[in-house]
Amino acid sequence: MLAVPAFLYLFDFAALQATTASLAVVAAAAGFGAIPRFRLGQVRLRQAMLFWVLGVAGTFAGTRIAPAVPESALVAGFALVMVGAAIAMWRKGSSPEPSGSQASSLWLTLVVATGVGLLTGIFGVGGGFLIVPALVLVFGFPFGVAAGTSLVIIALNSVTALVFRADTWQDIPWQLPLIVIAGGLVGSLLASRVNLAISQRLLERAFAGLLVLLAAWMVVEATLLRGQ
């Protein structure tokens, strides 16, 4: 969620460049984050592969739609996705843990997987705020397992979308995304060793507020300031 605004406003990427570069960042971050989840037994690989395969068509469609969307509409659409993620994060934890295994619904999995694939293909986001609730609802996963499994799905979706966008690679100054990826991995290692006194709930809500502020700025900048 932060990679696209960073590429847009810190590195002066065009919207399509920013969403493409973001795919590389998201893929690396999700893949790296999934490693400790594997070690903790919080990844269900079979369900992750099923979710990914069912969403490939949506991912492909999203990568074909993105170049045809005007830049201001792409930025505004991304801002709406940010608001949706903020709402999901704000409400996170208000639902109780699932009491047991639930019967999976293939059609519901297909709908959600396709929707997440579209978001990834168009906006370069992972869609974890949709994947985690879907895994809890459809498969009855505990939240920790849903979060771990979602990281694998996000990494697979992002790599797939990046491959589908191969025709835009030559427009990306890749040294900047690579620096962001390296910095993100170093930062995540450092942060994982710090025991913050701030509650997780407060951090989540503060981040949700930050997403809303960034979304508002992106809409204002794209629709008002650029026209001046």
Residue 24: what pLDDT?
94
Residue 93: what pLDDT?
52
The CA-atom distances, in angstroms, between 165 and each of 43, 59, 168, 220 are 28, 10, 6, 28
- Is the pLDDT score of 116 beyond 80? yes
The CA-atom distances, in angstroms, between 132 and each of 29, 85, 109, 128 are 17, 12, 12, 6
Q: How far is CA 228 from the centre of its chain?
A: 32
Tens-digit pLDDT profile for residues 33-64? 899 889 889 999 998 999 999 999 999 999 99
- Is the pLDDT score of 103 beyond 90? no
Tens-digit pLDDT profile for residues 152-168? 999 999 999 999 999 99
* Average pLDDT, integer, range 85-96: 71
214's tokens:
């960034």
Q: What is the pTM of this model?
A: 0.82
The amino acid occupying position 81 is V
180's tokens:
């962001």
| Gap between the Cα atoms of 25 and 185, Å rounded | 10
161's tokens:
């979308």
- Is the pLDDT score of 102 beyond 60? no
The amino acid occupying position 47 is Q
